[in-house]
Amino acid sequence: MIQIVRWNPQSKLAERVTVEELPKNIAEIPADAVYWIDLDRPTVEEETFVLQQFLQVHPLTLEDITKPRREPEQGAHLPKVEEFPYYLFVIVNPLPSEAMEEHRSKRFRFGKRDRPQLSAVITHTVLITHHYNEMRCVFDGQKFLERHAGSLARGPDYVFHLVLDGIVDEYTPVVESIADELDTLETRMFRSPAPQILSRLLRLKRRVTFLRKTLILEREVLARLIRGEFHLVEQSEIVYYRNVYDHQVRYTELIESAREMVSDLMQTHLAAISNRLNEVMKTLTIISVMGLMCGVIAGIYGMNFKHMPELDWVWGYPMALGLMATAVLVILGVFKWKKWL
């Protein structure tokens, strides 16, 4: 599906247009007009029309854009930014829609194949976005332009900043969910460490690793965009990209902290389990030593020798039990004296 929003310099309005109203190629677009063309889960024919007929992109660009469709087992392309003579090409990885809902993100796999891809081609007059998944950031950007139509006149670079800002804002509920889950696991761990906690920590570690890799690569993309090295990003718009970059850095640092906390909690959990095992082994050792002493006494008086004075003694049985009890008390006293209890 192709959605097109156009800034009309004559009417000073942002209006939706159809594919039929789109010029045959980018050269026919007036210098003061701005188009945002969104390829939402497009067909091969739609990709061919926009990326080869309307704007002929480099074959390598087209290959990167269509990678999720051509190689679904490999997943999306990682974030990158490349400059070509007449356009700027950017790839980012927004969060999957399932990951943004707290009650579903805890069950979401966060695997390589689950990473969506948003590709963008920026020229002086046109922004082309391409994605095979539903993108909330694109939807929010379109809604923003409906409320602030004049923003489209600022150019494709400003519109793309709105998309990037939406992508970064999507991390807020996910990062907060991870922080809350870590606090809960930390409290439960010190109360009663259990194997289920380690299983949850391993799943959480996979989620944090997924987010960390994506955030670091996207931070590098934004860092290049704010340096002013691309002529298609106007100096007046760099300040807005810098604001997005600041948010990105904040979430990257939070994820780094979460990663360190997950590792610390895993080590703490293993130490707590080991300490608990030592306590159990100590208790079993004390019981074993006491049982051993009782067994020695019972073994002595269980021998079938004919001449044993205590066998015919009336108090022999109580004496044997008394010796066992005395041995148990002596052992407990020694362990307590050694501070092993």
pLDDT digit string, tens, across residues 9-59: 666 777 787 888 788 888 887 777 888 888 988 888 988 888 888 888 899
Distance CA 310, CA 317 (A): 8
User: Between residues 326 and 32, which one has the greater pLDDT?
Assistant: 326
Does the pLDDT of residue 178 top 70, yes or no? yes
User: Mean pLDDT over residues 131-137, rounded?
Assistant: 86
Confidence of residue 121 (pLDDT cuts 50, 70, 90): very high
User: Between residues 129 and 23, which one has the greater pLDDT?
Assistant: 129
Query: Would you list the DSSP string of 270-306?
Result: HHHHHHHHHHHHHHHHHHHHHHHHHHHHHHHTTS--S
User: Mean pLDDT over residues 156-171, rounded?
Assistant: 88
Distance CA 121, CA 160 (A): 10
User: Between residues 288 and 303, which one has the greater pLDDT?
Assistant: 288
Q: What is the pLDDT of residue 10?
A: 67
Percent of the chain with pLDDT over 70: 93
Choose among 130, 132, 160: nearest CA to 145. 160
In the chain, what are the domains?
A: 2-272 (3.30.460.20), 279-337 (no CATH)
Q: What is the pLDDT of residue 60?
A: 92
pLDDT digit string, tens, across residues 51-105: 888 888 899 998 998 888 888 787 788 888 998 988 999 999 888 766 655 545 5
User: Between residues 89 and 287, which one has the greater pLDDT?
Assistant: 89
Are residues 67 and 131 in contact, defined by beta-carbon separation less than 8 angstroms? no
- Whether the model clears a pTM of 0.85, i.e. scores above it, the answer is no
> Which token pair is 165?
């800002």
